[in-house]
Amino acid sequence: MAVGPTTRRRQLGADLRRLRELKGLTLEDAGARVGISKATLSRYETKEGTVKWPTVDALCREYGATDEERSALIELAKGAKIQGWWRSLADPIPESMNLMLTLEDEVTREDHYACMYVPGLLQTRAYAEAVHRASEVHCDEREVQHMVDIRMKRQELLDRDEAPHIWCVIDEAAIRRRVGGPEVMREQLTHLIHTAQRPHVTVQVLPFERGAHAAAVGSFAILRGQSPELDVVYVDLLGGGLFMEKPEELERYRLAFQYLSAQALDLESSAELINRVSKE
């Protein structure tokens, strides 16, 4: 998969921090050496926002980076300008969705645990509309359609030449909850069965009979990048979402997903359960 601007920016931030720490410099000391503030250098290392390649060059020299490392990081800085398809949309989108789209544009794999609704990447349009109408009670119909359009556009990543692997563990409650009425739900479950037959999509159902489990707190997704340090966890919250990327947070959710996948039904049994519920 080609390395896109977000991955380059995140890799740049991680590498700059690594080089600074190897040199034993604080943010304040390193920034002072190249004429930038502690806050500015912190932003360079947090993997978001724009960077100036001459500053990256100067930092690399202060850190004692090799010529090869310095050249590579300068190229990362030059290629880190973010330009995605959603940037040209006429209507604004929530900031959390902006970041989700930016990250998702370059993922190699996504692990989803869904306890309330079918994951957005696997939703039909009618189901997505019903979800948004229920979740965004203060939105008018135009806003609902705008958000659903974005969700449908997101699903195009499933058709990429090098599509990421989408692994979903779906709680039985989500496939039994009648979102939008019987016909909408039947269409959604049929779509889920068909999508799960694609080679890069894995769908498991976590049945009620498993009882309490490791992720009773709510739905989450692990967006996996080119390397583990570029992974990000997205947790659903009322009115938006929370992104986490600290190593201990990532490890906690990776272990939770492994546990949930092990507790869930296998692929054949999951498909059988979804099919059975669709006919009830």
The CA distance from 241 to 256, in Å, is: 18
Span 23-69, pLDDT tens digits: 999 999 999 999 998 988 988 888 666 788 889 999 999 999 999 88
Please tell me the pTM assigned to this model.
0.72
What distance in Å separates the CA atoms of residue 165 and residue 200, rounded to the nearest whole number?
Answer: 5
Given this model, what pLDDT does residue 178 score?
93
Residue 102 makes CB contacts below 8 A (sequence gap 6+) with 6, 82, 84
Which of residues 122 and 6 earns the better pLDDT score?
Answer: 122
> How many angstroms separate the CA atoms of 111 and 192, rounded?
16
Give the orientation angle of helix 141-154 with respect to helix 95-104, to 10 degrees: 20
Q: Tell me, what's the pLDDT at 168?
A: 97
**So what's the pLDDT on residue 274?**
96
**pLDDT for res 190:** 97
Beta strands 220-224; 232-237: pairing state: antiparallel
Alpha helix ranges (H) inside 35-162:
38-45, 53-63, 67-78, 95-104, 125-135, 141-154
Count the residues in the chain.
280
Which strands sit side by side in the sheet containing 201-206, from one edge to the other? 201-206, 165-171, 109-114, 220-224, 232-237, 240-244
Instruction: Say if CB 201 and CB 166 are below 8 A apart.
Output: yes
pLDDT, tens digit, 9 for 90 and up, residues 127-142: 999 998 887 767 788 8
Q: How far apart are CA 82 and CA 226, in angstroms?
A: 17
